[in-house]
A and B are shown apart, each in its own frame.
Chain A
Amino acid sequence: MDFDLIITSFPKLLSATLITLKLLSASLCFGMILGLFFAILRLNKNKLISGFAYVYSYVFRGTPLLVQIFIIYFGLGQIEYLRTTFLWVILKEPYWCAIIAFSLNTGAYTSEILRSAFQTIKPGIIEAGNSLGLNKLIIFTKIQVPIAIKQSLPAYGNEIILMLKGTSLASTVTLMDITGVAKFIISTTFRPIEVFIIAGSIYLFITFLVHNLIKYLEKKYKYQ
């Protein structure tokens, strides 16, 4: 055990935590929007539209996140046309490529979580809204969405933790997040165990916080 290394590398890893958290929160926000959008498409009666949403979630859940990042970061840059559009400003940055890949990935999982949550809402509740003369938008935003959020909290908590672990892949496209910095320190000092302990505890600490936040929210929004 090299305690000096633990003390010197701790601040470095802690500052890298900021990037990890930025990546995590950005992709969760975009992923939530995508997830909600595709969950609604999935529940559409039109077979073509729901089929499209199914293919999206199937492809992104069936392939490794690493492949998705590489396609977006290395692959899309190959298309000449893209380089001339304004999209290139975003796509040449590894930071944004990582966020796009993470958002699409977590969006696929979120859409599945929300879909099953929407499907478990009893039809009687929606009928009650209808018979009160509420219009479709209000039924959706005021009745279906709040119930779906409550239903999907535990599963979404797991998804946040999976995504936190997923952000470690950003290190493969040159971003210096916790794992990136950890790998750099390991490969310069050849002290994998010490670095693993610190980096691992930072991740575990974030996991612990997320876990408790979800637990608190579950308690708060429990059915009476």
Chain B
Amino acid sequence: MELLSFGDKGWGDELFIATLMTIAVAITAMLIGFLFALIFTPLKLSKYKILNLISNFYTTVVRGVPELLVIYLFFFGGSGAIMYVAQIFGYYDYIEINAFLTGAISIGIISGAYSTEVFRGAIQSIDKGQFEACHVLGLKKYIFFFKVIMPQMLRLAIPNLSNVWQITLKDTSLISVTGLVEIMRQSYIAAGSTRDPLLFYSVAAVLYLLLTYLSMKLINRLERNYSRGY
């Protein structure tokens, strides 16, 4: 038990900070994912075939390729790509993007593909009459989107978004391969230096379970809030 105590001898405080890091990466990745979904969902629903094609390409590729491969692409290729762009603008020094950003962006791109599908499904299941009604009332497009479509869409999307959140949270464990010290990486370090992998990986499992359990509780409350009146 001493190994898990807070303070110099134990790994408790390190694991606590690592848990916060996991939460931070997961939330950042989820938000980046929303950003991607915000771009690609309209493309998916657009009238133009070419835009549909671009969006479908994104969701199919990202959902069909292992997360680890995407992370390796960004981990090894990320700074190279940025340096290439920088060189065009005449900046020749070595640029390194930090592990947090690399991880959050790569997981965010993955979670964005799932979010896009969720939002598409939610918008498509809104009654057609609503769109027509707004058209008849002559509402401006953005009012119509933010005041009519968005609230209904969120109600339909939240249960599925909670699945996306769970996937994203679990995917953050893969960022440990880039060296970012989150739960998995910290357990790896602790297991290596104490030669007690069973204990530390079990603790990691418990921490992840705790995170998924707590976030489920929170999301259920949110879900009740948005489905008032139904």
Chain A interface (Cβ within 8 Å of chain B)?
58-59, 62-68, 70-71, 74-79, 161, 164-169, 171-172, 179, 182-183, 186-187, 190, 192-193, 196, 199-200, 203-204, 207-208
Q: Is the CB of A66 within 8 A of B77?
A: no
For chain B residues 53-110, which have a beta carbon within 8 Å of chain A? 60-61, 63-69, 72-73, 76-77, 80
Q: Is the CB of A67 within 8 A of B73?
A: no
- Of A187, A203, A207, which is within 8 A of B69 by CB? A203
Q: Is the CB of A67 within 8 A of B205?
A: yes
* 7 residue pairs bridging A and B, Cβ less than 8 Å apart: A62-B166, A74-B201, A165-B65, A183-B72, A196-B69, A196-B72, A200-B65
Contacts of B204 in A (CB 8 A): 67, 70
- Indicate the member of A66, A169, A171 with the most B CB atoms within 10 Å: A66
Interchain CA distance A11-B19 in the complex, whole Å:
41
Further contacts, 18 of them, CB under 8 A, given A63-B209, A199-B65: A58-B209, A62-B209, A64-B184, A70-B187, A70-B204, A71-B197, A74-B198, A75-B197, A75-B202, A161-B64, A171-B68, A172-B68, A183-B72, A186-B76, A196-B73, A199-B69, A203-B65, A204-B61
Q: Is the CB of A66 within 8 A of B184?
A: yes
Contacts of A59 in B (CB 8 A): 205, 209
Min CB distance B225 to A, Å, is 24
> How many residue pairs between the two chains, A and B, have CB atoms under 8 Å in the bound complex?
114
Nearest neighbor of A164 in chain B, beta-carbon distance: B66
Q: Is the CB of B177 within 8 A of A172?
A: yes
Stretch of B38-46, B128-136, B139-147, B168-176 that contacts chain A: B168-176
Nearest neighbor of B188 in chain A, beta-carbon distance: A70
Task: Kindly state whether residue B226 has any CB partner on chain A within 8 Å.
Answer: no
Nearest neighbor of A167 in chain B, beta-carbon distance: B66
Min CB distance B183 to A, Å, is 8
Task: Kindly state whether residue B212 has any CB partner on chain A within 8 Å.
Answer: yes
Interchain CA distance A207-B170 in the complex, whole Å:
21
Q: Is the CB of A78 within 8 A of B174?
A: no
Interchain CA distance A186-B78 in the complex, whole Å:
13
A75-B201, A78-B197, A168-B67 known; A63+B72 contact, CB < 8 A: no
Contacts of A76 in B (CB 8 A): 198
Q: Is the CB of A79 within 8 A of B198?
A: yes
A70-B201, A193-B73, A196-B69 known; A78+B61 contact, CB < 8 A: no
Interchain CA distance A168-B67 in the complex, whole Å:
8
- Of B76, B173, B208, which is within 8 A of A187 by CB? B76
Q: Is the CB of B201 within 8 A of A67?
A: yes
Interchain CA distance A66-B66 in the complex, whole Å:
13
Q: Is the CB of A203 within 8 A of B77?
A: no
Q: Is the CB of B77 within 8 A of A204?
A: no
Task: Kindly state whether residue B149 has any CB partner on chain A within 8 Å.
Answer: no
Chain B window 180-216, contacts with chain A (Cβ cutoff 8 Å), 1 for yes, 0 for no: 0000100110010001111001101100110011000
For chain B residues 143-157, which have a beta carbon within 8 Å of chain A? none
Q: Is the CB of A186 within 8 A of B72?
A: yes
Contacts of A165 in B (CB 8 A): 64-67
Interchain CA distance A70-B190 in the complex, whole Å:
13
Contacts of B66 in A (CB 8 A): 164-168, 179, 203
Min CB distance B123 to A, Å, is 21
Nearest neighbor of B177 in chain A, beta-carbon distance: A172
Q: Is the CB of A200 within 8 A of B212?
A: no
Q: Is the CB of A64 within 8 A of B69?
A: no
Interchain CA distance A196-B77 in the complex, whole Å:
10
Q: Is the CB of B170 within 8 A of A63?
A: yes
* In the A-B complex, the 9 residue pairs with the closest CB atoms: A168-B66, A192-B77, A75-B198, A64-B173, A74-B197, A192-B76, A207-B64, A64-B170, A165-B66
